[in-house]
Chains A and B, each alone.
Chain A
Amino acid sequence: MAKFEAGMESMVDMYIFETTSLLEQLDQILMKTENQSSFSSEEINEIFRIMHTLKGSSAMMGLENMSKLSHSIEDMFFIIREENPVISDMRSLYDLLFNASDLLKEEIELIQEDEYTATDFSEAMGKIKSFAAVLKGGAPAAEAAPSAPAAAQPAQAAAPAAQAQASQNDLTTVRVSFDDDCKMENLRALLVINKISEECEKLEYTPADIENNPETAKEIIENGFIVKFKPSSDTDIDTVLSIIADTSNVKSYEVLEMGHVIELVGTINVKVTFEEECKMENLRALIVVNNIKEKCKTISYEPADIEGNTASAQTIIDNGFIIHFTADDPKGVIRMINASPNVKMCEILSAGDAAPAAPVQTAAPAAQAAAPAQTAAPAQAAQEAPAQKSVEQINNMLGNKGGAKQSLISVNLNKLDTLLDLVGEIVITEAMVTSNPDLKGLRLDNFQKAARQLRKLNSELQDTVMSIRMVPISGAFNKMTRIVRDMKVKLNKDVDLIFEGEETEVDKSIIDQLNDPLMHMVRNSMDHGIEDTAEERIAKGKPPKGKLTLSAYNSSGEVIIVIADDGAGINSQKVIEKAERNGLLTKPMSEYSEKEIFNMIMLPGFSTNEQVTEFSGRGVGMDVVRKNIEKIGGSVSVDSKWGEGTSFIIKIPLSLSIVDGMEVSVGQSIFTIPISYIRESFKVKPSQLVKDTDGSEMIMIRGECFPLIRLYELYDLEPGISDLYEGIVILVEAEGKCACIFADELIGEQQVVVKPFSSLLNNFNVKQHGMAGCSILGDGSITIILDIGNIIGDF
């Protein structure tokens, strides 16, 4: 983990979680809008919001590079939002944004490593800024300050005319000089501008083109760097000046002209404007008033009837919400106004007793008392309670998100893992208690009743814990959109990505393991599967646009994920020839079935593509895919039709942990067959046994024949019972195939907690031999859980 300030470590996890989900949101919006090649105002606001949050939280964590990059995007979107320029070059805009999003994601990865040094994003930032400058240039009514960062400063579009006229007088002019020999004075100047831009409402500077013109460095050395600014309403000139002084390499600054500042004394008149379309402005205004009234000695506002009169909302939209107040800490009050929900800006109109802008006002207490609304003289303690209540009511009326959010919490996955482990232990312990050997032969009616109750509660507990861990697979799918998009551009192939059943839920720990394999397979399909050109596809009678389908569905306790393309398919002849060349064959070529051949592409050291591309072809991919999927207890298979397409079928268990199982004994060993596979169990009658010419046994059940698998033969064990008519036969079904399994006897049904095999055993491919894992029984002995799908598949 990277080094953070003391006290910050605890927040790192939260930060990483938040940032990752924000970036995912960003990607989704970008992906959506890229297809439409335009932004709706909602989407622009959303991106703006995301970048703003990123900027803030990154700065809080002390990750200045990320904060700045986010800031530059935020600035760009500010221009897009405020000026609505015609964006001619959508393509480069998206490239810039995707690139930035990638950089941020990579940085998040880096932060989690031990050796972290902040990456320099200046190149990306430079590109974004110059693009923003182009946008700005293209926009009508260019601002006085032509350069990009300046243009990006909040221009406060809503400034009233009177304010605009007086603008020159508002500005404080400062000459900044830098350390001798600090080099690149223009960029250092830019740094100053970036730093103070947050605090300033207006900002101009000479020379203006510092960012792109290195020549300006000389000018700055000779004449100094002149900055003219007006601080935002909630700061003051001194704050800005101290920021300038604190910026690195600034040697000194000299105030040339003090701007006219509204002294915050006496009655202060402010105009509050709310975000557009936030609805019910009158109630939002009431919230503002309730927020600040404690701090104010006197307060009045117009329109005054905001609480009772919904029509006042329109007045507020048209004229703004005017508050007159006196307070000991007027700046604090203005800060509070700014911090209130939905407040867009708060502008100081005038201060002092002479208040020309306010027609109805002055802080006469009598007037206040007369005001119909609950204005707040601090002494009016009796009014406190109803006022509080009304805030709540308003929040409810507005359907404020604050309330809804409370019902969702994010929990550290480790805690859930521990919880699941505990539940697993409880299940085992329950079995230890209820089937304790000490109880054998005793008649315990009350005990049995209580035990049944315990069992019921335990299984409910289990279900609940499981459902907590289930997340829809759409998250993993959505990540693929991005990959497909990038590859479409790079490979110049036109492909539709289609999702089916993305609402299917899978255990969180499984989803996390799925990302890499999915990505590999999608890349493979895009790179090797889909034909290189549309002409090639048309020649084969296919639509020119390729199709890549990701689908997921549930099937008897498993989740099946299919990645299907309608591309060229796999040439089985080529595959087997290559396998032979690489020495991967273990039996004569002619003995391989087509399915076996397809699955060879997942052997280590196999890649049919002669050329290694950026995306795939190193021959490690599919091998890694198989390993990763097997690690989570799943399996992968390939199906293909030459000329028609290829499907990768991934089967993964719904959840890793607890299954209902039937225990059967074979000699000394106990095996568990998951109940979901079992259709029936029975004793075989001699009339049911059928033998084919080479002696393979089959069982006839209700007119259908099923192969018989003797477990002791399959696993070379010493059988307790080898006489077919003595033992028990279990009819199992998996993936549409049925078979009969022969064992000594049924022991009983029990819930078992799946424990994966040690990696030592996995080296010997126990999964391929039909063993899914093992579990500990109530008496401490170990049972092996069978993977019926694998056993039947091999038969």
Chain B
Amino acid sequence: MSEAIYTAENKKTFAADGIEILFFTIGDKTYGIEIKYVNEIIGIEQITVVPKIPDYIKGVINIRGKVVPVISVRKRFGMEEIPYDDRTCIIVLEFENGTQVGVIVDRVQEVVVVDKATVSKVPDCKNVNANKYIKSIINSADDIKLLLDCDKLIMSET
């Protein structure tokens, strides 16, 4: 199991049966997002509030002339928000249809190539609210990490 996680340098060797994942932390938990969605990572910026939208959408920011909405993952997960500091980051995601969305996270960790064999599906739960943002579970050497489903995280309305 200790060889389950490979560093980015090795990705050429393992890209075929591995997926590149960007890990970040919220509080003391680590989550992952598939790198194919990630456009860039920027520091926290001045956020313009947009009224009359759900509170997990914090507003919009200006990324080189583009107006991009940002959402708070903490708020999305129903957690308390903490004040932004210099390690707070906005991960800018881009979807296939060209929509860009910023995601505010506490800290960004690293990009690693994860062997597909270590990725397992989330169990089906009757409770509709269970696992609603989780795509799969990654068993790594020292920890179990959750891979987020970007489409559900951003697009689903609940």
Contacts and interface: CB of A to CB of B under 8 A. Distances in A.
Nearest to A716: B51
B61 interface: yes
Interface string B92-132: 00000101110000000000000000000000000000000
Nearest to B66: A755
B62 A781 contact: yes
A578 interface: no
Nearest to B60: A782
A51 interface: no
Contacts of B50: 757, 761, 766, 771, 774, 784
Nearest to B46: A781
A664 B97 CA distance: 34
| A: interface residue count bin | 20 to 34
Nearest to A669: B49
A776 interface: yes
Contact of B62 (A425, A716, A758, A782): A782
Interface in A596-611: none
A758 B52 contact: no
A715 interface: yes
Interface in B55-105: 57, 60-62, 65-69, 97, 99-101
B140 to A, nearest CB: 31
Nearest to A784: B50
Contact residues of A: prevailing secondary structure: mixed
A769 B51 contact: yes
| B: interface residue count bin | 20 to 34
Contacts of A776: 62, 65, 67
A769 B67 contact: no
B69 A782 contact: no
A763 B56 CA distance: 14
A759 interface: yes
Contacts, number: 75
Interface string A642-685: 00000000000000000000000000111000000000000000
Given A758-B68, A774-B67, A776-B67, A764 B52 contact: yes
Interface string A435-449: 000000000000000
Nearest to B154: A760
Given A774-B67, A776-B67, A782-B60, A758 B99 contact: yes
Given A774-B60, A781-B62, A758 B46 contact: no
Contacts of A769: 51-52
Given A760-B101, A760-B154, A760-B155, A780 B49 contact: no
A383 B141 CA distance: 94
Interface of A: 425, 428, 668-670, 714-717, 755, 757-761, 763-766, 769, 771, 774, 776, 780-784
A425 B46 CA distance: 20
A492 B97 CA distance: 43
Residue from the set A425, A758, A759, A771 with the largest chain B CB neighbour count within 10 Å: A758
Given A758-B101, A759-B99, A776-B67, 16 more contacts: A669-B51, A670-B48, A714-B51, A715-B52, A755-B66, A757-B69, A758-B67, A760-B57, A760-B69, A764-B54, A771-B51, A774-B60, A776-B62, A781-B48, A782-B67, A784-B48
Contacts of B16: none
Nearest to A424: B65
Contacts of A757: 50, 67, 69
Contacts of B97: 759
B1 interface: no
Nearest to A671: B51
Contact of A717 (B51, B60, B100): B51
B112 to A, nearest CB: 28
A352 B51 CA distance: 91
B157 interface: yes
Nearest to A758: B69
A419 to B, nearest CB: 16
A194 B60 CA distance: 64
Contact of B99 (A755, A760, A774): A760
A784 B51 CA distance: 10
A716 to B, nearest CB: 6
A774 to B, nearest CB: 5
A761 B50 CA distance: 9
A700 B65 CA distance: 42
Contact of B49 (A668, A755, A759, A761): A668
A755 B50 CA distance: 14
Contacts of B155: 760, 763
Contacts of A761: 50, 53, 57, 60, 69
Given A715-B51, A755-B67, A763 B99 contact: no
Residue from the set B46, B51, B62, B100 with the largest chain A CB neighbour count within 10 Å: B51
A782 B61 contact: yes
Nearest to A769: B52
B48 A669 contact: yes
Contacts of A714: 51
A755 B86 CA distance: 30
A314 B69 CA distance: 76
Contacts of A428: 65
B100 A758 contact: yes
Contacts of A766: 50, 52-53
Nearest to A763: B157
5 contacts: A669-B48, A669-B49, A761-B50, A761-B60, A771-B50
Contacts of A765: 52
A755 B66 CA distance: 8
A776 B66 CA distance: 8
A769 B50 CA distance: 11
A758 B68 CA distance: 7
Nearest to A712: B51
A143 to B, nearest CB: 60
A784 B62 CA distance: 12
A584 B51 CA distance: 25
Contacts of A760: 57, 69, 99, 101, 154-155
B100 A780 contact: no
Residue from the set B50, B69, B100 with the largest chain A CB neighbour count within 10 Å: B50
Nearest to B53: A764
Nearest to B51: A715
A714 B69 CA distance: 21
Interface in B13-70: 46, 48-54, 57, 60-62, 65-69
